[in-house]
Every structure is written in structure tokens, then in C-alpha cells.
Amino acid sequence: MKSDQSASPTPTVVLIHGLGRSRRSMWMVGLWLKYCGYRVKSIGYPSHRSSIADAVQKHINPALEKLEIEEGTQVHFVTHSLGGIVFRAWAAQRDPKFPLGRAVLLAPPNQGSQIIDELRQWSWVRWLLGPVSAELGTDANSTPNTLGPLPPETGVIMGNKDTLPVFRRFIGEESDGVVTIASSHGEGEADFVLLPTNHATIILQPAVFRAVHRFLRTGSFKEP
């Protein structure tokens, strides 16, 4: 760790993208957070080719080990979709000395995905999604459902705009088009907010960015 006595320590925010995305998908979130005064580190992983455990061990852990953390600061996390489950898997086995701060999970399948339940029987879906297709179901043994409570001071932002009617018969109308509102909740969540967006565009919305910043500052999504 490094210490700079001439300036106030700057907290860091780590970004973790979702399934089928890359670090570039989080650039607008990162740009906003840099404007708000945070140091930003975006971590990529091959979501179509990695299990969740491999993503943690081969990509998240090495990147965090190289992270320069100013003394006296915390490291916050902002994730999208599958990235929230990858974060939870990392947090469940992290070094207790790691200065974990707050986390905001955008549209996370915290209790698994009903779409995966329905579609993973098809070989082309398993091929398209990769190893995570076997991990993201809603059964009790799925990875999201075996990680335990969310880390302390973790908030969830969820969209309520269902813009993908193709999946509606699997997941109902109370969803962001991909993840149901009910399954985005996680045990121990510090706060939860619904915003008018969908699964794909939640990472592009100014209202989401403002809510993220509020939570990282105060631990709550509520406006003053």
C-alpha cells in the first residue's frame, strides 16, 4: 500500500462486467465515478469461457493483488449482472485484511436465473453461455444460492422495464427483461431500489449513476 501525506486519500472503485460483456461495457459508469473523485479499476474476465470460480482465481484475484491501495482508504465495487455473482464469490473467500468498502450490484441474479433453468437443457445454449450455464440456475445448489449472505454494505439496483417479451413466459412480467425483481434480492442487502430501466441499459443511465454514488457515499440509495 502507498500513502500520500500531501493529499486526501482517494478511494478506489472496482468495476466487474456481466455475461457476454467486457470492461468497455462499464466505461460510462467508470467515467461518472472518476468525475465524482474516485480512482477506478475495471476488471475483465472471459465470461463465456470461465466458471465463476475460475473468473475469481484467474482474473479477479490477480488484478486486485496488483491494485495500489492508498493507506486508510477502502475499495468499493460496482458490478453488472453476472459480475455481481463473481464479486460475491470473491468476497466469500477474500483475505479478511482486504479493505472492502461498499458494493453496488446492478441487476444481479442473486437467487439464480429462471431463464437458465429453462434454456440450459439445450446444447447450443450451454455452448453459447459456457460453464456458467451450469451454475446460474435457481436450485439450492446453484452458485448464487450457495454463497451465503451478501457482504456487509452491499446495495442492489434493479430495473423494472421488461423490454424482452421473448423471455416473459419464463420469468413473468416483474423483471428487467432478463432477471426477475424477486430473484435480484439477496440476503443481507443493505438497501434496494427499483429504477425505470432494463437489464441491458442499466449501465448507461444517469439516474443509476447518481444512485450508485449516493450509496458509495452514504450506504443508502435514499436522496437527502
pLDDT of 211 strictly over 50: yes
Average pLDDT, the chain: 92
Hey, is 198 helix, strand or coil? coil
pLDDT at 218 over 60: yes
pLDDT at 1 over 70: no
- Measured torsion, CA atoms of residues 11, 20, 86, 161, in degrees rounded to the nearest 10: 80
Which pLDDT score, from 0 to 100, does residue 32 have? 97
Cα 34 to Cα 10, 15, 39, 44, 67, distances in angstroms: 11, 12, 6, 18, 16
Instruction: Name the 3-class secondary structure at 213.
Output: helix
Q: Phi and psi dihedrals of 117, rounded to 5?
A: -55, -45
Sequence-ordered list of residues with C-beta below 8 angstroms from that of 40, at least 6 positions apart, any chain:
12, 13, 14, 15, 30, 33, 34
pLDDT in tens, 60-106: 999 999 998 988 899 999 999 999 999 999 999 999 999 999 999 99
Q: Answer yes or no: are the C-beta atoms of 43 and 223 closer than 8 Å.
A: no
The three grid cell numbers given for residue 200, joined into one nine-digit string: 441491458
**What cell was used for 113?**
436465473
If one compares 182 and 167, the residue with the highest pLDDT of the two is 182
**Alpha-carbon gap, residue 18 to 21, rounded angstroms:** 6
Q: 3-state DSSP helix/strand/coil percent for the chain, to nearest 5?
A: 40, 15, 45
pLDDT value, residue 5 = 43
pLDDT value for 7: 61
Q: What digits encode the pLDDT tens for the residues 47-63?
A: 999 999 999 999 999 99
User: Once rounded to an integer, what is the mean pLDDT over residues 164-181?
Assistant: 84
Residues ≥6 apart with Cβ < 8 Å to 210: none
Question: How far apart, in Å, do the first and last CA atoms of the chain sit?
Answer: 34
Please tell me the predicted confidence (pLDDT) of residue 3. Answer: 39
Order of strands, edge to edge, in the sheet holding 12-16? 39-43, 12-16, 75-80, 100-106, 154-159, 191-195
List, for residues 13-43, the tens digit of each pLDDT value: 999 999 999 999 999 999 999 999 999 999 9
**Confidence grade of residue 197 (pLDDT, cut at 50, 70, 90):** very high
pLDDT given for residue 35 in this prediction:
96
> What pLDDT digit, counting tens, does each position of 132-147 carry?
999 999 999 999 999 9
